[in-house]
Amino acid sequence: MVAPGSVTRSVALVTLGCARNEVDSEELAGRLAAAGWQLVDDAENADVAVVNTCGFVEQAKKDSIDVLMEAAELKDDGSARTKAVVAVGCMAERYGEQLADSLPEADAVLGFDSYADLSTHLDAILHGEKPKSHVPVDRRTLLPLTPAARSSAAGVAVPGHGASPDPVIIGDLPDGVAPVSGPRVMRARLDGRPWAPLKLASGCDRRCAFCAIPAFRGAFLSRRPAEVLTEARWLGERGVKELFLVSENSTSYGKDLGDLRLLETMLPDLAAVDGVDRVRVSYLQPAELRPGLIDAIVGTEGVAPYFDLSFQHSSNAVLRRMRRFGSTGDFLTLLQGIRERSPQAGIRSNVIVGFPGETEADVEELAGFLVEARLDVVGVFGYSDEDGTEAATLDGKLPDDEIAARLAHITGLVEELTAQRAEERVGEHVRVLVEGTDDDDPDTVVGRAAHQGPEVDGQILLPGVQASPGDWIEAVVTESLGVDLIASPLQRAGSAAPVAVHSAG
């Protein structure tokens, strides 16, 4: 806690990348608020701008550098926008000293090991000191090889799992800050959205040839159910209506705790949390998706029938070179099983085209799979080498122009197919979580139905409806607009009032 009479310092946290980074930023916000820092929204008005970077793919890395440089720019009057700019997050963890050398605009580049004592580092920077830049290591080596031996992350910094020893002393915390997972992990909300990401686990034990994430996020480590539930209750008390469960691989949850069924048994408890009306699970590995987990997702009241499946390709030959499992037939069988249980389930995925050794026949097999799969959303990526990955060393590399052509081909197909899938949903009844109003039309409410994940899966537009973020509206889909849907509230018999509009509270 801040000492009485201490000078208040201000900090802005700028978050890039995925929902897992958003959770990490809110942990840092909680720690800094507990240490007496004032949290502000605009980096221009802060003493320190902390940029939580993304290091996943080339474009994300470029975006991170652009934001860091923008935060360090001068205002029109020649004064600094902020006194200091600090890089944290995945790109900082992955490149450390290399990033610091190439980006002198950043006053510090700090890795995950600095999170528990970030306040001390920021204070030192404001006093003219320059902390030593992070030295990257393969974080998979920091935890035991055997998952069952990872029951404690003592001595290892894992965002979202606290730290040991932890310099934060839990006392009377500021309003809105809580030790959400016991005395180790802190969190403060950085926005007023009616949904929030909730971290299940960190890291990944898979060895996909194209992916560098395990090297800088580390081995897979589950959070204990009691910690997850405590944080869920804290979020529910703060107006969160939908929990978005995030990790690098949610289907592995519990394996290091001795029970792979932990997610299935925990979902009913999460759905029963006061204030929470919907729970959504993200990032499921198709090869690990068990029938029992499918049943729990589609059969538990309050859990969205939503499947974020990481297919990456459908050609068995390409998948084997990627060090992944499955095939077109396997994946179609999986999708059939999901839809037999829940015909309206939302299903999204990502695919990579142009992987080393991919043939034209492989691309056409992927195209045929996508036609049959009828997915709601598909992210399409063109392959590029990532530092330190096995794929970067493979033969059979394709020319950039060929990768671009395949990317354009599959992207165009996906746009057509997902628009068709959206059109198939016309006439469906949906329960919409209101998130705000349309940027172009303040008289149109926007929100999401059960089949739509936050931010990237399209939205529901409700013209002429008055509602507040956090309200729920029962509606019927009347038309489609790309992947977006237009809906009309259901009416009570003999009434002009819409059905089931619940206050955000």
Task: Give the sign of the dihedral formed by CA 489, CA 276, CA 284, CA 88.
Answer: positive
**Known binder of ligand: residue 18?**
yes
Angle between helices 262-271 and 225-237 (to 10 degrees): 20
How many Å apart are CA 392 and CA 462, to the nearest integer? 47
How many Å apart are CA 161 and CA 154, to the nearest integer? 10
DSSP code per residue over 202-238: E------TT--HHHHH-S-EEPPHHHHHHHHHHHHHT
**Known binder of ligand: residue 204?**
yes
Structure tokens that stand for 198 in this block:
């909730």
Burial class (CB in 10 A: 0-12, 13-18, 19+), 115: buried
Q: Are 381 and 352 in contact (CB under 8 A)?
A: yes
**Known binder of ligand: residue 208?**
yes
Strand partners of residue 444:
463
Burial class (CB in 10 A: 0-12, 13-18, 19+), 154: exposed
**Known binder of ligand: residue 90?**
yes
How many Å apart are CA 486 and CA 497, to the nearest integer? 18
How many Å apart are CA 489 and CA 473, to the nearest integer? 7
Give kind and range of the element (H or E) at residue 413: helix 400-424
Query: Would you give the DSSP letter of residue 353?
Result: E
Give me the amino acid identity at 118: L
Task: Specify binding-site residues.
Answer: 18, 54, 90, 204, 208, 211
Task: Specify binding-site residues for [4Fe-4S] cluster.
Answer: 18, 54, 90, 204, 208, 211
